[in-house]
Copies of this chain bind each other. A is one copy, B any other.
Amino acid sequence: MARSVTLMVTALLVRFGSAVAQQAGSDLAYEPELPPDLNSPHGSLWPLPQNVQISPELYRLSEVQFRIVHSPQSTASVGCSILDNAFRRYFNYIFSSSAKTDQRGSGINGASSRSTEELRQLQVTITATDPECNQHPRISSNEAYEISVMQPVAILKSESVWGALRGLETFSQLVYEDEYNTHLVNKTEIVDAPRFAHRGVLLDTSRHYLPVKVILETLEAMSFNKFNVFHWHIVDDPSFPYQSITFPKLSAQGAYHPVTHIYTLTDVQIIIEYARERGIRVIPEFDTPGHTQSWKGQNNLLTPCYNGEKLSGMFGPINPVLNTTYDFVNQLIKEISWVFPDAYIHLGGDEVNFECWKSNPSITQFMQKQGFGSDYRKLESFYIQNVLDIVTANLKGYMVWQEVFDNAAKLKPDTIIHVWKGAYQKEMAAVTAAKFHTLLSSPWYMNVISYGQDWRRIYTVEPCNFNGTAAQKKLVIGGEACLWGEYVDATNLASRLWPRASAVSERLWSSEETKDLNDAYKRLSKHRCRMVRRGIPAEPLFVGYCDYEYKG
């Protein structure tokens, strides 16, 4: 049995699945037979655009001649540095890390590959009066774009810079190299826009500290996958790496190390700007009242727990019965609202353990006074309600984990409920029936690993697959791939996240009908090799190779 691929094609070997798998993982293996044709009609495009027309006609690109430029019709011009920087970035990617020979169109052996037709420019046209060069991306930013690749000038058109950024990534994915290293692009028409507006990646910098460099690398890889939200789960029980200007004791006492394992204001600003340049919003999460063991730098904030009538020396969730708590929260939210420009803050609210509250006499007294009986969920909602009011007063919107909704807190109509627990279809139905916007993460916990091609399970999730009206489905604004940090730090973050999170990115960007696993496998295997060549150690999908292996 001869190998089913030619040597010069970036390809995955597929015939040996079953024999290989038995030795490797015995009955644990999940090795579907894969089709022998290793090229998708859509090449290495990922996530797949909504409408693509690729013609056999080919154009060459010269590194000396080719330019990405503002078109004369564009409302943006040189000086719109978010685009100027993107032009340079993608010029470099196109000429240093394009996919190798691709058999799309008439390919390497067809007459047109010897064509002398040349693509001289990619002209970028922004059509809105305000191109938003200096703004931050928002939930309502228009990421739609159109690409027309036709000799001698390709056109990329979008309303604002945000669509242009997505289109530049797509254009870079259209270019590939033939065996003589000539850069080629097919005549192509693309009309594209995301299916969902909120496409996020959650990183957890509390369970392990992640160096700024690792976060920036993740943002860059996110842009390759058209993710547009970095959900920064910045603090939690184990450590408090956020250096607050107002409350510097929080990180001084709560970080793993008060100097080396913190994020300074400059760090945060660099991350936000790096994200902005890639059309990515940064939403910080300050999870309360639980998950706050590391907040001990603030006196009298955490609830002192009792062992019978005596203080146990332990502390529980934030103390919801003291006025000082809300003064503190107000000042912290004020600072966060200024540091993080996004219109939303994630307020957490998950997994509050009531045991310590139950043990504390002043809390018992407060419960009686408020008429809460023994329903501590009411106390939790009381706390959350106060925090929500504070956030609203600071002119921010909020996202919360699903418990806040489950516990019946009164929520502003624009609240986003983040679904993370197991029976998610039921929860999505309930949340949207109550007319709240919602985000899905339950099936997309990237930290949860298993042997084999689990990207297939991740990919086949359909966020709107729950009982509900069309109006309810419209309330699903997207989802997030969550990489919780128990077992993840700088050593394994990138290879654990990529390309598995890419499966989420296509589900959230592409059409609901884009669900052919075989086609996805072909495109994703090339997309992962492209990520590797761009410096991201994305792990392999299965047996095979990249023309350019990761060099470390």
The smallest beta-carbon distance between A540 and chain B, in angstroms, is: 5
Question: What sequence of 0s and 1s flags, for each residue 514-552 of chain A, a beta carbon within 8 Å of any chain B beta carbon?
Answer: 000000000000000000100001111111110101111
- Chain B residues positioned under 8 Å from A238 (CB to CB): 13, 16, 20, 543-544
Are A23 and B491 interface neighbours, CB within 8 A? no
Distance in Å from the Cβ of A490 to the closest Cβ of chain B? Answer: 4
Specify the chain B residue showing the minimal Cβ separation from A356.
B1
Please give me the residue from chain B that is nearest to A254 by CB atom. B3
**Across the interface, which residues of B come within 8 angstroms of A496, CB to CB?**
492
Q: Are A537 and B492 in contact (CB under 8 A)?
A: yes
- Asked whether B484 lies within 8 Å of A23 as measured between CB atoms, the reply is yes
Question: Is A247 at the interface (CB under 8 A from chain B)?
Answer: no
Q: Are A214 and B257 in contact (CB under 8 A)?
A: no
Known: A451-B447, A491-B540. A21 touches B486 (CB 8 A): yes
* Docked-complex contact B19 and A351, CB < 8 angstroms: yes
Contacts of A488 in B (CB 8 A): 539-540
Q: How many copies does the complex hold?
A: 2
In the complex, how many angstroms separate the beta carbon of A210 from the nearest chain B beta carbon?
A: 8
Whether A214 pairs with B293 at a CB distance below 8 angstroms is no
Task: Determine which of B7, B258, B316 lies in contact with A257 in the assembled complex, contact meaning CB atoms within 8 Å.
Answer: B7
Binary interface encoding of chain A residues 298-320 relative to chain B, with 1 for a CB under 8 A from any of its CBs, else 0: 00001001000000011110000
Which residues of the partner chain B approach A31 to less than 8 Å between Cβ atoms?
486
Q: What residues of chain B lie closer than 8 Å to A358, measured between beta carbons?
A: none
Chain B residue contacts of A550, Cβ below 8 A: 489-491
**Set of chain B residues within 8 Å of A15, measured between Cβ atoms:** 237, 293
* Interface of A toward B, CB cutoff 8 Å: 1-3, 7-8, 13, 15-16, 19-26, 28-29, 31, 207-209, 211, 213-214, 217, 236-239, 254, 256-258, 260-261, 290-291, 293-294, 296, 302, 305, 313-316, 350-351, 353, 420-422, 445, 447-452, 484-492, 494-496, 532, 537-545, 547, 549-552
Question: Could you show 30 A-B contacts with beta carbons less than 8 Å apart?
Answer: A1-B293, A1-B302, A1-B316, A2-B315, A3-B293, A3-B296, A8-B257, A13-B237, A16-B237, A16-B238, A19-B290, A19-B291, A20-B207, A20-B238, A22-B351, A24-B486, A25-B445, A25-B447, A26-B421, A31-B486, A208-B540, A208-B544, A213-B551, A257-B547, A260-B547, A449-B450, A486-B542, A487-B540, A490-B550, A491-B532
